[in-house]
Amino acid sequence: MAETKKTSKAAEERAKLEAIKAQETAVVEQEAAEIVATAEVAADAKEDAKTAKAGKRSAKALKEAEAKEEKEARKESGEADSKPKQKQNPPKSQLERKSKQYRKLAEQIEKGKEYSLKEALDLATKTSPVKFDATVEMHVRLGVDPRHADQNIRDMVVLPAGTGKSVCVAVFAEADAAAAALKAGADIAGEEDITKMLDKGNFDFDILIAQPAQMAKLGKYARVLGPKGLMPNPKSGTVSNDVAKAVTEAKAGRVEFRVDSTGIVHLGVGKVSFGKDKLEQNARAVLNSIKAAKPASIKGTYVNAIHVTTSMGPSISVAPTEV
């Protein structure tokens, strides 16, 4: 009897212990579930914060992100882009970029042919594409090196038929010489009048001629006159004791030319309205002046190429043997 009581008492204690263990297990599982839920909430909050910081909360931003991911995936997989390539047209030549009228006029010039001077000037007057009275230009490429002083070709020439431009000539000279200059056709003459103009910054003239004795008085204006190409210079014939003769030549069509840094002389020889005969007279005068200015140090070819053209017109090649 006593043994039966002991056995039932032990069973009750075991049952109590198992109940306590089950209760503790449930508490632990509940706490673990709460911890996991808290961690998931924290992770979601962190992800939301990162998304908000990157500014990708909007639907547009999310679509852009998805598109970017898909593009990167295609690159990794090596798939080619499905967009067709646009057809590129070949670049147009310089002649094709010109107007229809220009191209039509340019057809009159035979490509690769070297014309005589008279033929070239005649063609130039016929192929001018502009409505105004265009200037006929001559470009002569010389076999010189302008870095050497003796090969820096510079000269002045009086065009027999004139330039076609009306030039304003000012003369800085003493009273008697100024009166002679005005008689010869000068537009402005006299020390006082020109000094007042220069002091006011008025340079309303194309050519300034001065006597050698008056050059010292123009020294203070050299920094202004020089860059404008108006400073008198003995080489250009604008410094002379015979100011009347200098005025006559300037009005008659005296021009100055010099080679540029690439050894080319650029010069206008008249207007289209002159006609081929007058233009040839002027062009011959220029070529003769260039020939006379040939340096002694030049042993090879002196004139490499000659081209004639008009304002905005096509270029015409002239045989170098014309010099």
Going from N- to C-terminal start, the domains of the chain cover: 1-48, 112-164+255-323, 168-252
Query: How many Å apart are CA 323 and CA 320, to the nearest integer?
Result: 6
pLDDT at 29 over 80: no
Highest mean pLDDT among 32-41, 156-165, 269-278: 269-278
So what's the pLDDT on residue 6? Answer: 56
Question: What separation in angstroms does the CA of 292 have from each of 71, 94, 130?
Answer: 74, 36, 35
Give the CATH H-level superfamily of domain 112-164+255-323: Ribosomal protein L1/L10, rRNA-binding domain (3.30.190.20)
Report pTM: 0.61
Average confidence score pLDDT of the chain:
82
Running DSSP on this structure, what letter comes out for residue 275? -
All residues at 6 or more sequence positions from 1 whose CB lies less than 8 Å from its CB, including other chains? none
Of residues 50, 48, 28, the one with CA closest to residue 40: 48
Are the CB atoms for 134 and 272 separated by under 8 Å? yes
CA distance linking residue 253 with residue 54, whole number of Å: 76
Question: Tell me, what's the pLDDT at 244?
Answer: 87
User: pLDDT for 195-226, tens place per residue?
Assistant: 888 888 888 888 889 888 888 888 888 888 88
Torsion of CA 122, 128, 131, 133, to 10 degrees: -50
pLDDT confidence band for 56 (50 / 70 / 90): very low
Range in 55-59, 152-156, 177-181 with the lowest mean pLDDT? 55-59
What percent of the chain shows pLDDT beyond 70? Answer: 87
pLDDT in tens, 234-271: 877 888 888 888 888 888 878 888 898 889 999 999 99
Distance from C-alpha of 106 to C-alpha of 138, rounded to nearest angstrom: 18
Helix (H, G, I), strand (E, B) or coil at 72: helix
Average pLDDT over residues 258-287: 90
CATH entry, 168-252, from 3.40.630.30, 1.10.1740.10, 3.30.465.10, 3.40.50.790: 3.40.50.790
- Please check the confidence at residue 3 and state whether its pLDDT lies above 70: no
Helix (H) or strand (E) holding 37: helix 2-53
Residues 136 and 310: beta-carbon distance below 8 Å? yes
Q: What is the pLDDT of residues 106-123, one digit of tens each?
A: 888 888 889 999 999 999
Residue 139 has pLDDT above 90, yes or no: yes
Q: Which of 155, 164, 157 is nearest to 132 (CA)?
A: 164
